[in-house]
Amino acid sequence: MATMSNDELIEILSWLPAKAIHKLKSSSKFFLELPKTPYFVAKQAENSLKKDRPSCFFIQRDDILNHNDYVELHPLSGEELSSGIPKNMLQFIASSRLKILSSSNGLLFCLHRTELFIINPATCYLLHIPLPNHLQQRGNLHSLSMTLECDFEDYRLILFDNEEWSSHFDCHVYSHKQGVWSLRKNRFFAGSRDLKFNMPVICNGAIHFISDCFSYLAKDSTHFRPYIMSYEITNGDEDGSVETKLLRVPKEARRGSHDDNYRMNIFKWGVVTGHQTICLVRLRKRVFTVWILTNHESSSWRKILKVRVKGMCLVEQNPEIRGFTVLNGDLVFATEKNVYAYGLTSDKYMVLSEICDHRCDSVFIRFVPYSDTLRSCGISVKSLRP
C-alpha cells in the first residue's frame, strides 16, 4: 500500500473544519504543529471560502433594547461532531455582552458598546478594530450599519453612516491589510424608506439591503412599496462609477406589505446561471413564500416555495415564528422552542427536519451563519485561551 505524503495529507486535512483539525492535535507532533503553520492556516481558510457553506449558526436576541447577553451556537445537520467552538468562547461572547454583527470565513465581527472587535472563536484570538475618526466620540453605534466580508487575501469592514438624517449615506471601508478606514467617493442612496441595515447581504461584489414595509408613505410615493437597494463595494470607485441600484421585489411579495403580520427579508442563496444571487423570504399570515433573484438588471424573480406553517407537519401546535433565514438551500426557522430546516432544493424539497431546541426567550431571533476556520485575525491579537 502506497504511503501518503505530507503534502497529500495537508491537502486532505485543509478541507476539514477547525474543530476536527484540533481533535487530531494529540495524535502526533505533526498534527500538534499543523494548526500553527501559516501555509496550512491560509489553505484551510481558502478551502472553506471555496465551499461557501456554513456548518453552524449563532442565535442571538434581535430587539431594540440591544440585549446581547444571550447567545447559542448550533451545528447544522451532519456537522454535529466536526464543527463548533470551545465552550469558554461562547461564554465569553455572552458574558462580555458582545453583539455579533456578522460572520465571514470563521471570523466574527462584534460590537461592544463603542468598541469593535474581530474574533476567531475557533482559535480563541481577538483583535481590536479602531473606529473611524468621526465616530470616536459617538456614544451609540447600534444605529450604524456594519458588516464583514472576507476574501482569499484580505478582509474588509463596511460601515454606512448618516449624520444628516438624509437618504444618502457615507460608506467607509476598513481594509485589514492597510489597517485604515477609507471613505468611498460615491454615497449610498437608501430611498425614502428605512432600510434593514442590520441584515445586509453581500453578493457579487455588491451589498444589498431590504427596506421595511410600514405604511408611513403616501400611496403615490415612488417608494411606497418595499424594495431592495444594492451598492457596489468592490468595483468602480476609482472612476466614480459606483452607483446605487433599486431592485423591485415580486408583485406578489408587495401585496399586503403593510399588514402588521408581514415580515420579509433577503439572504444569500448560491449560484444561478453562473452567478451568485440572493433570495427573498416573506412570512405573511403564517405562510412562507420564497423567491430567487434570477436577473439582477431586470429585477426578475422565480418563486420556489409557498407553504403554510400548518402544512409543514410540525409537532408543535400553532407555533409562533421567532426568526428565519436561508442556509445551504434550506429555510431555517425558529419557533418558541425549536429550530427547523425545510428543504428548498430538489434533493430534499419540502422535507422538514428538526435541527435543535433553543432557549432564547425573545420575540425576535437573529441567525448568524458560521463556519469554524483557522483564519488569522491579524497581528497584535489578544489570546482568549483560559
pLDDT in tens, 351-370: 999 999 999 988 899 999 99
Fold entry, domain 52-383: Neuraminidase (2.120.10)
Average pLDDT for residues 250-277, to the nearest whole number? 86
209-233 confidence digits (pLDDT tens)? 999 988 878 787 878 889 999 999 8
Q: What is the dihedral of CA 21, 22, 26, 30, to 10 degrees?
A: 50
Q: ∠ at Cα 309 (278, 54), nearest 5°?
A: 40
pLDDT greater than 80 at residue 66: no
Return the percentage of the chain with pLDDT > 70, whole number. 96
What is the reported pTM? 0.93
**What pLDDT does 67 receive?**
67
pLDDT tens by residue, 150-189: 998 899 999 999 877 788 999 999 999 999 999 998 999 9
pLDDT score at 243: 78
Per DSSP, the residues of 61-103 read: E--TT---S-EEEEEPTT-TTT----HHHHHHHHHTT-EEEEE
Lookup result for grid cell 457615507: 170
- Lowest-pLDDT choice from 241-255, 307-321, 344-358, 360-374: 241-255
Average pLDDT along the chain: 90
Give the orientation angle of helix 6-13 with respect to helix 38-51, to 10 degrees.
40
Q: Please say whether the beta carbons of 339 and 332 come within 8 A.
A: yes
What does the alpha-carbon distance between residue 124 and residue 120 come to, in Å, rounded to a whole number? 6
What is the reported pLDDT for 1? 46
* pLDDT of residue 259 exceeding 50: yes
Mean local confidence (pLDDT), 281-302: 94
Name the grid cell of 259: 399588514
The mean per-residue pLDDT over the stretch 17-41 comes to 92
Distances (CA, A) of 43 to 39, 46, 124, 278, 383: 6, 5, 19, 27, 22
Mind listing the pLDDT tens digit for each residue in 314-336? 989 889 999 999 999 999 999 99
- Domain range annotation of the chain: 52-383
State how far the Cα of 371 lies from the Cα of 377, in Å rounded to an integer.
15
